[in-house]
C-alpha cells in the first residue's frame, strides 16, 4: 500500500501547479506565430564591440525582417530611458568580467533573466507601437543560444522549442509571408498575459454583458495547452502557449470539455474570435451544463451584438411602452444598444422594477435581455445587481410605423406621446 500512497500524495502536490499559472513551476510561452503577428517590426540584431560604451559592446540592428517604420527606429525602441512603459536592453559585466545582457519589457511583466553575451551573438527583437506612443521592446529571442533560458526561448504554437538559428529564422519568415495582423482594438499586452489574466479581467468588468470595445481587446489571440510540456531546468515547465486566432484552432476549442476543464472560461472567451453559426450552435448546446451564465453572455454577444447591419436598429432607438397581460414594460432603447427596462405590475401592489440591459434587431427579429435590476439594500441603499431575464425569444417584427411596432404573437409596442428618440 505504501507505493500507492506515495503516488497519491505526489499527484495532489503536483497537479495544482499545472492549474495555477501564476506559481513558480509553470509558465506560458509567447509563440513565435503570436509574436510575429502582434509585432509592428522585427529586427535581426547582433552584439558588436563598441569602445565608446561602458561594457565596450552594444546591440545593433542588421536587418528589419518585418518593416513598418525604418531601420533607424531600432535605436529609439531599444534605448529609451526605462520607466513603466519604456523598455530597453542592458549590458553589464559580472565579477569575472564576463559580458552579460538583459532585456527589460516594462513593469507589467516580470524582469527578464540576465544571460551571457559575446560579440557576434544574434537576437530577434520584436517591437510594438501602441497608438501614438513610442516604439517599445515586446520580446527578444536568443538565436545564438536558443534553449539557454526560457525568457528568450523560441517556442512554436505547437509547443516545439526550436534550437537552430536557421530553423528559427525560416519559421519566422514563413509566418511573416502570411501577412497576418492582429485585429483593430486588440490589446496585445492583455493577450500576452492571457493564461494568468483573462479570468481576472472577466470577473472585474463593471457590467454584466460584453460590449464591442471589450470584445475587441481580447480578440486576436489566446492561450492553449501544449501537448508535451517543455522543461527548462528542474523547476520550470511550459504547459501552454499564446497563439494567434488562426482558424485551425476553432475546432480544438469546440471539442474542449467545458464542464470539467479548469481552463473552461479561457476557452469560452477564445470563441469570441470565431463568430458564426458553428460557434453559436456549440454554445447553445453547452448552456445546459456548467458556466451557463458565461456561455449565455458570450452566445448573446455573438448572436445579437455582432454585425448589427439591420436598418431597424436605428429606427427603434427611443422610448416605447409594451402592454403585456400581467405587466406594462417601459423601454428606453439607446443607440449603443444599451437599454433601460422598467416593469410595472397591473394588479396587486403594482410592483415597479427598474432594470437595464441591452437590445438588438437582427434579420428583423427584435431581442431584449435584462441583465441587472436596481434593488434597495437595507444598509447601503439602492444598488444594481445581476438579474437576467429575456423579454423576447426573439420576436419577428411584422410592421414598423413612426409610433407603433407590431410584433408576432404579442401586443404592439407604442411610443409614449411625449417621447423622442434617445441619442
Cis peptide before 347 (omega within 30 of 0): no
Q: Yes or no: say if 65 and 172 are a contact pair by the CB < 8 Å rule.
A: yes
The separation between CA 202 and the C-alpha centre of its own chain, rounded to angstroms, equals: 9
Is the sign of the CA dihedral 38, 138, 84, 194 positive or negative? positive
pLDDT value, residue 133:
60
Closest CA to 303 of 393, 398, 217: 393
No. of helices (H) and no. of strands (E), the chain: 12, 20
pLDDT value, residue 16:
31
**How far apart are the C-alpha atoms of 400 and 60, rounded to whole Å?**
66
pLDDT value, residue 77:
54
Q: Helix, strand, or coil here: 176?
A: helix
Q: For residue 159, what is the DSSP state?
A: S
CATH architecture of 312-414: Beta Barrel (2.40)
3: its cell numbers: 507505493
pLDDT value, residue 394:
83
CA distances from 323 to 193, 287, 327, 373 (A): 49, 31, 7, 20
Query: Which tens digits make up the pLDDT trace of 260-298?
Result: 677 789 999 999 999 999 999 999 888 877 888 889 889
Q: Yes or no: say if 242 and 191 are a contact pair by the CB < 8 Å rule.
A: yes
Query: Which tens digits make up the pLDDT trace of 386-397?
Result: 777 887 778 899
pLDDT value, residue 420:
56
**How far apart are the C-alpha atoms of 345 and 323, rounded to whole Å?**
10
Domain with CATH 2.40.128 in the chain: 312-414
pLDDT value, residue 134:
64
pLDDT value, residue 1:
39
Going residue by residue through the chain, which has 423 residues, state the pLDDT in tens, using 9 for 90 and above: 333 332 222 222 223 333 333 444 678 999 999 999 999 889 999 998 887 777 788 888 888 898 754 555 565 555 544 344 444 777 888 887 788 888 877 555 566 788 888 899 999 999 888 765 667 788 999 999 998 888 899 999 999 999 999 999 999 999 999 999 999 999 999 999 998 899 999 988 877 778 888 999 999 999 999 888 787 766 678 889 999 999 999 999 998 887 767 778 999 999 999 999 999 999 988 887 788 888 988 998 898 877 778 888 889 999 999 888 888 899 999 988 889 999 998 877 778 899 988 898 988 889 888 888 887 666 666 777 777 788 777 889 999 988 999 998 878 899 998 765 444
pLDDT value, residue 350:
76
404: its cell numbers: 407603433
Q: What is the mean pLDDT of the chain?
A: 81
Q: What is the reported pTM?
A: 0.78
Amino acid at each position: 500500500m505504501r507505493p500507492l500512497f506515495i503516488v497519491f500524495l505526489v499527484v495532489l502536490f503536483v497537479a495544482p501547479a499545472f492549474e495555477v499559472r501564476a506559481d513558480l513551476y509553470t509558465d506560458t510561452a509567447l509563440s513565435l506565430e503570436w509574436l510575429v503577428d502582434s509585432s509592428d517590426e522585427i529586427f535581426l540584431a547582433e552584439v558588436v564591440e563598441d569602445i565608446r560604451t561602458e561594457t565596450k559592446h552594444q546591440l545593433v540592428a542588421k536587418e528589419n525582417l518585418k518593416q513598418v517604420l525604418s531601420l533607424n527606429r531600432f535605436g529609439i525602441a531599444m534605448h529609451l530611458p526605462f520607466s513603466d512603459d519604456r523598455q530597453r536592453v542592458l549590458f553589464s559585466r559580472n565579477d569575472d568580467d564576463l559580458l552579460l545582457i538583459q532585456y527589460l519589457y516594462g513593469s507589467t511583466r516580470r524582469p527578464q533573466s540576465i544571460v551571457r553575451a559575446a560579440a557576434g551573438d544574434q537576437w530577434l527583437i520584436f517591437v510594438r507601437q501602441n497608438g501614438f506612443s513610442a516604439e517599445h521592446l515586446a520580446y527578444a529571442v536568443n538565436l545564438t543560444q536558443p534553449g539557454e533560458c526560457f525568457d528568450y526561448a523560441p517556442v512554436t504554437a505547437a509547443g516545439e522549442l526550436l534550437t537552430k538559428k536557421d530553423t528559427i529564422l525560416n519559421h519566422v519568415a514563413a509566418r511573416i509571408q502570411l501577412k497576418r495582423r492582429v485585429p483593430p482594438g486588440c490589446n496585445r499586452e492583455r493577450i500576452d498575459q492571457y493564461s494568468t489574466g483573462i479570468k481576472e479581467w472577466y470577473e472585474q468588468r463593471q457590467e454584466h454583458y460584453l460590449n464591442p470595445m471589450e470584445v475587441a481587446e481580447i480578440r486576436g489571440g489566446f492561450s492553449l495547452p501544449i501537448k508535451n510540456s517543455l522543461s527548462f531546468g528542474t523547476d520550470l515547465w511550459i504547459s501552454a502557449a499564446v497563439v494567434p486566432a488562426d482558424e485551425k484552432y476553432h475546432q480544438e476549442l469546440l471539442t474542449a470539455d467545458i464542464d470539467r476543464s479548469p481552463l473552461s472560461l479561457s476557452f469560452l472567451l477564445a470563441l469570441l474570435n470565431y463568430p458564426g453559426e458553428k460557434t453559436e450552435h456549440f454554445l447553445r448546446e453547452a448552456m445546459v451544463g456548467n458556466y451557463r451564465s458565461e456561455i449565455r453572455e458570450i452566445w448573446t454577444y455573438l448572436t445579437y451584438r455582432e454585425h448589427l447591419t439591420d436598418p431597424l436598429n436605428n429606427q427603434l432607438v427611443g422610448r416605447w411602452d409594451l402592454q403585456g397581460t400581467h405587466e406594462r414594460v417601459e423601454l428606453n432603447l439607446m443607440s449603443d444598444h444599451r437599454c433601460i427596462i422598467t416593469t410595472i405590475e397591473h394588479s396587486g401592489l403594482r410592483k415597479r422594477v427598474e432594470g437595464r440591459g441591452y437590445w438588438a434587431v437582427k434579420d428583423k427579429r427584435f431581442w431584449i435581455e435584462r441583465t441587472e435590476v436596481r434593488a434597495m439594500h437595507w444598509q447601503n441603499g439602492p444598488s444594481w445587481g445581476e438579474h437576467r431575464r429575456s423579454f423576447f425569444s426573439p420576436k419577428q417584427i411584422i410592421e414598423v410605423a413612426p409610433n407603433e411596432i407590431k410584433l408576432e404573437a404579442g401586443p404592439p409596442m407604442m411610443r409614449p406621446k411625449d417621447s423622442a428618440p434617445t441619442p
